[in-house]
Amino acid sequence: EPEVTQTPSHQVTQMGQEVILRCVPISNHLYFYWYRQILGQKVEFLVSFYNNEISEKSEIFDDQFSVERPDGSNFTLKIRSTKLEDSAMYFCASRGQGEVEAFFGQGTRLTVV
Amino acid sequence: GQNIDQPTEMTATEGAIVQINCTYQTSGFNGLFWYQQHAGEAPTFLSYNVLDGLEEKGRFSSFLSRSKGYSYLLLKELQMKDSASYLCAVRGRGGKAAGNKLTFGGGTRVLVKP
């Protein structure tokens, strides 16, 4: 069964460092998303991406965040200068054209120290 | 904006039935989803309602009333493996190219006891 894959599963980084979280969405999916979940809190929308551009972003997704689809398979989330409060589980999701369900990856646990 | 409320925690006995309620206020509505999430894992899709009424899928059923801004997830014949968080999420309208983000409630942690 096709699945969304994310790497790494866990990343520890020092405050102020840049991190790149990687995702390989399900092939032939067209809509891509990043969500995050701070420990013990709800899943929060960060950004949606379609046709090589951001279609919607939340207040969380400020200038420190960026997304890219560098090739036909990867979808990345970059945080330029990490803060302690960026520590969370980051989920990538993708959805096919005309489909209802968004499929989530297993997540990357980001710990900023 | 979106506001989604669901109970924080519920406890039930193996073999029993549990109903998890969700109420929402949204500026745009394009469907309501229920996801299951085990601790430390990704949400997995359970059900989707966009029209009023009941959708049944094996041991899980989901109901929607758009006029009341209300949904419930019904879990029947509970098994120990059903212990997890259940997330209610509303898909909005808007954004370019119908990006249709999901807005999640805080989740209901269900504990199934023997």
B20-46 residue pLDDT tens? 999 999 878 889 999 999 998 999 999
Going along chain B, which residue ranges are E strands? Answer: 2-5, 9-13, 18-26, 32-37, 44-49, 53-57, 60-65, 70-75, 84-91, 102-104, 108-113
B31 neighbourhood in chain A, CB within 8 Å: 100
Radius of gyration of chain A measured on its C-alpha atoms: 13
- Taking all residues of chain B, what is their mean pLDDT, rounded to a whole number? 92
Q: Is the backbone peptide bond immediately before B114 cis, with ω within 30 degrees of 0?
A: no
Q: State the pLDDT at residue B97.
A: 47
Given a cut of 50, whether residue B107 has pLDDT beyond it is yes
Segment A5-15 mean pLDDT:
97
Residues A18-75: pLDDT tens digits?
999 999 999 999 999 999 999 999 999 999 999 889 999 999 999 999 999 988 789 9
Q: Is A55's CB within 8 Å of B89's CB?
A: no
Given a cut of 60, whether residue B96 has pLDDT beyond it is no
Identify the closest residue of chain B to A36 by CA–CA distance: B42
Q: State the pLDDT at residue B99.
A: 58
Q: How far apart are CA A15 and CA B75, in angstroms?
A: 43
